[in-house]
Structure 1
Amino acid sequence: MKIALGSDHGGFELKAIIKELFDQLGIPYQDFGTLDKESVDYPDFAAKVAEAVAGGDFERGIVVCGTGIGVSIAANKVRGIRAALCHDVFSAKASREHNDANVLTLGQRVIGPGLALEIVKTWLGTDFAGGRHSRRVDKIKAIEERYL
């Protein structure tokens, strides 16, 4: 599984920690920026990651900003993206099992690095359960078709 990874300046340090985890575990990824801590606009990086996932080049994406809220909102504007803001392990697991989330968003100023890495590992290691959840995800897709 290849991961699209991005952040703004407010998530840059946590993104670096996630990259270290990926390097240790041999998880392939591409960093879509930002590449330093200079102030940038989070929608630019959320869009790059979301478009890479929606385009099929990456199975999943992770985007980090200060709270995770802005990048979640921005990523969810891209057709085919189900971005989930997760600040606990239970939500990370449920976002994959129940919602087939394909983008994880995190807030560097909200959670510490240890919890963030547990969330990332759980999210990456959890499959979509299908079954009754497929019907619900299909309804989300139908809403997307009406409005996007």
Structure 2
Amino acid sequence: MKISIGNDHAGPDYKKAIVKYLEDKGIEVINHGTDTFDSVDYPDFVHPVANDVENGVADFGIIICGSGNGVAMSVNKHQKIRAALCWIKEIAALARQHNDANIISIPARYTSIQQAIEMVDTFLNTDFEGGRHQNRVNKIPC
């Protein structure tokens, strides 16, 4: 499995912890995020994640900003991207099960690093249920 990750200045600590967690599990990570707390424009760091997922370079994406909203709005403009803003692991599970989300958006200012890792783990280990949900996903333009 290969994961692409991007973050703005609200998420360097989150990204570092998530990358370590993933690499410890033997998962390859493509890092597009900033490593500093200096203010940056989040689209510059998350559009490459969407490109990786959209083009099959990565299986899934992880994006992080303060609220999780700006990064999610940015990547959801891409074809074939279904980014879900998650704040608890149960939402991460539903995003995969019901929406076939392929990018998880994490709000660094509203979750702990431990919660973020749990959400990522849940997101990556939950399958899309298909069935009645497939009809709905098919109605999302791409």
TM normalised by structure 1 equals 0.92
Residue equivalent to 2:52: 52
Q: Deviations over 1:34-64 (max 9, x none)?
A: 2322211011112110111101111110000
TM-aligned CA deviation for residue 33 of structure 1: 2.1
Residue equivalent to 1:88: 88
Listed as ranges, the gaps of 5+ residues in structure 2 are none
Distance 2:130 2:29 in 1: 26
DSSP 3-state at the match of 1:10:
coil
Preserved contact between residue 32 and residue 46 of structure 2 (Cα < 8 Å): no
Preserved contact between residue 18 and residue 117 of structure 1 (Cα < 8 Å): yes
1:21 aligns with 2:29: no
Residue equivalent to 1:113: 113
Residue equivalent to 1:138: 138
Residue equivalent to 1:3: 3
List, as ranges, runs of 4+ consecutive aligned residues in structure 1 with deviation greater than 4 Å: none
DSSP 3-state at the match of 1:5:
strand
TM-aligned CA deviation for residue 132 of structure 1: 0.9
Preserved contact between residue 12 and residue 65 of structure 1 (Cα < 8 Å): no
Listed as ranges, the gaps of 5+ residues in structure 1 are none
Count of residues in correspondence between the two structures: 142
Preserved contact between residue 72 and residue 83 of structure 1 (Cα < 8 Å): yes
Distance 1:49 1:11 in 2: 15
Preserved contact between residue 66 and residue 107 of structure 1 (Cα < 8 Å): yes
Distance 1:34 1:70 in 2: 16
Distance 2:136 2:123 in 1: 19
DSSP 3-state at the match of 2:10:
helix
Preserved contact between residue 7 and residue 34 of structure 1 (Cα < 8 Å): yes
Q: Deviations over 1:63-91 (max 9, x none)?
A: 00111111011010111100000001111
Residue equivalent to 1:125: 125
TM normalised by structure 2 equals 0.96
Residue equivalent to 1:43: 43
Counterpart residue type for residue 40 of structure 1: V
TM-aligned CA deviation for residue 25 of structure 1: 1.1
Distance 1:13 1:69 in 2: 19
Distance 2:8 2:38 in 1: 9
The alignment-based identity, stated in percent, is 44
